[in-house]
Amino acid sequence: MKVTWSRRHVLETDDWSREEIEHVLDTANGMLEVLSRPIRRAPPLRGRTVILFFAEASTRTRVSFELAAKALSADVVNITATGSSVEKGESLLDTARTLEALGGDVLVIRHGSSGAPYFVAQRVGAAVINAGDGAHAHPTQGLLDAYTLRAKLGDLAGKRIVVVGDVLHSRVARSDINALVPLGARVTLSGPPTLLPAAWRCGDLPSGVGYEPDVDRALDGADGVIALRLQRERQEAGLLPSIREYARTWGLTEPRVATMRPGAPVMHPGPMNEGVEIDAAVAHGARSLIEEQVTNGVAVRMALLYLLIAGGEPRLIVGAEPPTSIAGGEPPATPLPTGVV
């Protein structure tokens, strides 16, 4: 099986094929093994530089990328909003030019404006990974959620996953859809009508996605649920009567998650508001995969960093031997027997 990997950037998985997504998840398997070793480090990105440009605060995602880059022996440079000239009003165009001049092989960008990573990707030579842009996308979260669900449920074809909460403002919801649906899963959205995009609420939804305002009906018989974080500002913006009402109506409680299929997992991208979108008993209960998500996130990000650098366009050096003879072994992309030992 020869997988073609021609992605220069990871901006969103909305135009990715099932094969591409599976290739990332399969690669993440190998990365998870690296993370389980006594020495959690492998050398493939030695001498490469990964720049983490976070124009919006996010400890979890930034640390996850940093661990991923370091586990592959890359050099990591952090540029955060507070430490950069972004605060002084420097334009994104200037920032992109500066980042381009600095060099770097991969640029990981988190930004408050939907589409900002596309803007930057057009203006830098580095591979760009979107680490979350506005309310648009968070593709590495979507892929790690897909990885986590696949590890738990096996083939996701025909599986029904509920995504509940503030879908309107959630880049996670969009990327979950764009990672899970290509793998054959169906996604049921649930949440207050004011926190769903109007078109989706009115039935104009992406294929494979449905909307069920009643969370009890949405969860009944589901194969898994992902709760989204509820920002308290939504109440002030007039989108919610009260946080308390939200928690009672859409919060994940033990009786609610018990109506899913036996063993159906509960996930959350974090950070959680326990007692609002998810009860503590559920968040730390037997169905919770929230800690696995964190670990898997590092593995999936390692896979993406690795594939962007190692799996890019063929860059055969003139006069070099063809790949089969360079390492003296076999090309790794040939069939192999599995189940050794």
Partner 1 sequence: MRRTVNRIAHEIVERERDLSSLAIVGIRARGDALAKRLRDAIRANEGVEVPLGALDITLYRDDLTRVGYAPVVRETAIDFTVDDRVVVLVDDVLFTGRTVRAAMDALVDYGRPRAIRLAVLVDRGHRELPIRADFVGKNVPTSLGVDVRVRLVESDGRDEVEVVEMARV
Partner 2 sequence: MTTFDRRALEAAGYLVVPGFIDLHVHLREPGFEDSETIASGARAALRGGFTTVCAMPNTEPAIDSPGLIAELVARAKAANAARVLPVATITRGRKGKELADLVELAAAGAVAFSDDGSPVDDARLFRSALEYARAADRPVLEHPQDLALSARGVMHEGRVSADLGLPGIPAAAEEAAIARDLALAKLSGARLHLQHVSTARSVELVRRAKADGLAVTCEVTPHHLALTDAWVAGDRTVAWEGRPSPRATPFDASTKVNPPLRTEGDVRALWDALADGTIDAIATDHAPHASVKKDVEYDLAAFGISGLETALPLLLGGVDAGWAALDTVIAALTTGPARVLGIDVPDDDWTVVDRAATWIVTAAGLASKGKNTPLLGRELRGRVVMSVVGGDVRYEGDLRAAPLAVR
The footprint of partner 2 (CB under 8 A) covers 14, 91-93, 111, 113-116, 118-119, 122, 133-137, 171, 174, 197-200, 204, 206
Residue by residue, DSSP assigns 228-244 as PPPPTHHHHTTS-S-HH
Which of partner 2, partner 1, none does 326 bind, CB closer than 5 to 8 A by kind? partner 1
Q: How many CB atoms lie within 10 A of CB 107?
A: 27
**Sole residue written with tokens 């959205």:** 189
Residue/partner pairs of 87-94 with CB below 8 Å, 24 or more apart: 92/116, 92/119, 92/120, 93/123
Residue 136: which of 166, 113, 107, 106 has the closest Cα?
A: 113
> Nearer to partner 1 by C-beta: 122 or 324?
324
Asked if residue 51 lies in contact with residue 100, where contact means CB atoms within 8 angstroms, the answer is no
Scanning 51-59, 145-153, 256-264, 324-332 for contacts with partner 1 by CB under 8 A, the matching segment is: 324-332
* Per-residue binding letters, 48-87, with partner 1 (x by CB under 8 A): ------------------------x---------------
Number of chain positions touching partner 1 (CB under 8 A): 51
Q: What are phi and psi of 56, to 5 degrees?
A: -140, 140
Residue 289: which of 137, 168, 146 has the closest Cα?
A: 146
Does position 101 bind partner 1 by CB under 8 A?
A: no
Does position 309 bind partner 1 by CB under 8 A?
A: yes
Tell me the residue type at 90.
Answer: E
> Nearer to partner 2 by C-beta: 192 or 251?
192
> Nearer to partner 1 by C-beta: 134 or 312?
312
Quote the least distance from Cβ 12 to partner 2, whole Å.
9
Which of partner 1, partner 2, none does 29 bind, CB closer than 5 to 8 A by kind? partner 1
Which of partner 1, partner 2, none does 323 bind, CB closer than 5 to 8 A by kind? partner 1
β-pair type (75-80, 106-111): unpaired
Does position 232 bind partner 1 by CB under 8 A?
A: no
β-pair type (209-211, 266-267): unpaired
Does position 332 bind partner 1 by CB under 8 A?
A: yes
Asked if residue 148 lies in contact with residue 202, where contact means CB atoms within 8 angstroms, the answer is no
Residue from 10, 31, 55, 109 touching partner 1 (CB under 8 A): that is 31
Quote the least distance from Cβ 157 to partner 1, whole Å.
22
| Phi-psi category of residue 221: left, alpha or beta, with phi > 0 → left and psi -120 to 50 → alpha | left
Tell me the residue type at 267.
Answer: M
Crossing angle of helices 139-153/290-310, nearest 10°?
120
Which of partner 2, partner 1, none does 113 bind, CB closer than 5 to 8 A by kind? partner 2
Using CB under 8 A as the binding rule, the residues of this chain from 6 to 25 that contact partner 1 are 23
Asked if residue 108 lies in contact with residue 127, where contact means CB atoms within 8 angstroms, the answer is no
Residue from 126, 163, 303, 305 touching partner 1 (CB under 8 A): that is 303
Which of partner 1, partner 2, none does 82 bind, CB closer than 5 to 8 A by kind? none
Where along the sequence are the contacts to partner 1 (CB under 8 A)? 2-5, 23, 26-27, 29-34, 37-39, 41-44, 72, 303, 306-307, 309-311, 314-317, 320-337, 340-341
